[in-house]
Structure 1
Amino acid sequence: MSGLEITLTGADFLWPGGPGPGPLTIRDGRIADTPAPRRVDLAGFLVLPGMVDAHGDGFEHHLAPRRGALTEPALGLPAAEAELAASGITTAMLAQFVSWEGGMRGPEFAARMLAALDRARDTLATDLRVQLRLETMFLDAYPALEEMVARHRIGYVVFNDHVPHAALAAGKRPPRLTGQALKAGRSPEAHLALLRHLHGNAAGVPAALDALAARLIAQGVRLGSHDDSTAAERRAAHARGAHISEFPESVAAAEAAREMGCAVVMGAPNLVRGGSHKGNAGAREMVAAGLVTALASDYHPPSLARAAFALVDAGLCDLAAAWRLVSRGPARMLGLEDRGALRPGLRADLTVIEPATRRVAATISGGRVSYLAGEAAARFLG
């Protein structure tokens, strides 16, 4: 897929030093400092650094449009990319479970998805990467996870624990058991037996997880933890090398993360809707307190751009600071120093916005057009 060689003019550009006029030239997939012969006038549009989505599992809806209807991953990945591109996202970290939950969250499906993405990657404009989300009580999956990390050069692993320990310790039937069992293709009885087995692993998990974390870090893998509920949980995760805190459930956990120099990721849907759908700490209050490193799409890619503008509308920060949370902030957190800003030499990753509607008009990833619509399409094609 060939890239653009073009100079954009007329728009308002969000440069590293703040908003200002152009021009901006794209050549060989990067932002160049000398103009190209072809020029496109984008007067009336806003050109921003392409968004870097640090965590998204919305792609699951494209790979399994109905419960139990698992498609071949290769069929769903282009549709997932299309949604991301239409949302202005140029780099996306697909959050793939390696979980006891089974189905498309089980290790077997994860291996299929990774293989399909490897085959499809060169045909996609958006830079799709994978974060593996390991359920820590699932000790039997540790070897499979390590094999996938090595085979597919995974650079980011996050630790989760969604086993309902409190209910199991009390001898109670966990909530939503039947629905989870059906989703996993198990009987409720078999699912309950599995949960009890996983709960019984708890004593041996810390040592096994410490050893796994050490091996992954030795390979250069970044580690994170998901849903830290307390400062103590965050400190424990930090001690084993997990220096990214995804969606901390309390301000105290986020504060502990920042005190230790860790990155904090919060969900854009949480910020847009004004709070967590589970009643946890709100992303908006955490941004206001200066605790957030990056916003992520979580389950809804269109929320990422909306969240940045919501921060501006609320008066919590200007557009440059808000947009850093969806571009440069997550890029640096993930070690992607070649993107996240409009600067010569960096990847030509751009999100073009109609200011009046704040709709994405065009998305360019690595100098390749991944989305183009409306008046912006007429300008490029005319």
Structure 2
Amino acid sequence: MPFSSLKKRLGNYIAQEGKKPGEGPPDLDQLWRDFNQRLNGLFGGGKNRGSNSGGGGGNGGGDMKGASFTFGAVASVAALVWLASGAFIVQEGQTGVVTTFGKFSHTTPAGFNWRWPYPFQANEIVNVSQVRTVEVGYRGSAKTKMASEALMLTEDENIIDIQFAVQYKLSDPVKWLYANRDAEDTVRQVAETAIREIVGRSKMDFVLYEGREKVATDTQQLMQAILDRYNSGAQVTNVTMQGVQPPEQVQASFDDAVKAGQDRERQKNEGQAYANDIVPKARGAAFRLIQEAEAYRAMTVQNATGNTDRFKSVLTEYQKAPAVTRDRMYLDTMQQIFSNTSKVMVDSKAGSNLLYLPLDKLIAQVAATEGRAASVTPPPPTAVLLPPEPTPDPNRRDSRSRESSRDREGR
């Protein structure tokens, strides 16, 4: 743009702004000279003031000098603006990366920073506190599946559908920016590679059920090892399994197989519960029978031993007095027999008739009258059984008659 046109426009602007009510338009030349003098005073141009006070020829020279000074001022302002363009602010949790002619130079902390403006240096701000997420097997939601990423082969040659998400942060912004061409895509490819390796070493049932957490942990460790070898500058913080299932084409058959396996486990559990109930009882009964048999054997042995000792003692006494011992044994035997019965048999000499005496009923009536029937058991009836008569002996007929009479008197 010509300088005269710039001067005319500046004069019109000053005339419009400096015009007051009731006054005429100001002198443009005088305003222009005042403006140049002020600029000269600011930038050291005071020694040209004398030349501007001359005649008309002097005014032409002053205009040329003013024009050159204005160009220098504009250049200075442009230089200041250019230098100011190198200033930048880094927020908390971020890191500034400065490059010199496209090559990494240094990093800057949070706060106000300055670098050389374009084209010497450039800067890029990287958020190192942000938790970034990479999705494998789906995008956005589980419904938008990526079959090429989700389908994987297990060790037992089965195909499963896995969808998972990887969360990571930046540990080194310089490596993140310059070590790999596409850092985020690198993280996704590393995640897919790691989980395919882990799944390929595991059984299908392990991945579907009890091994989900272990698969996620092993995938995170393997991912971190690969990313460190690639100098990616990323730190994996978490691997979350979003969905692990068989492919949709075989889902119905797989559900049937799962139900059959559950039925098998249920029946096994029921059988084990029944065995846990029966076996201890059988073992207890067997142990009880063994103990009872041992007790019976011990009792039998002790009784036999006691009977043997008693027989030996009786034999000793019998050898000393056979008749007395025989009579005593006979009486003891009869006492034991009659102590267990309530009937008493009496031998009658007259016609050898057997008489029945209801002594048990008589004793019960007596006990009832005395009020002791409920608490006192009536003693068994006692009886005296006469020994058998010996063979008639003419020499001992009188003594036998006397003994019979004494026995009758005793009865």
Identify the TM-score tier after normalising by the shorter chain: under 0.3
Q: Normalised by the size of structure 2, how large is the TM-score?
A: 0.20
TM-score (norm 1): 0.21
Q: Point out the structure with the larger helix share.
A: 2
Bigger Rg, which one: 2
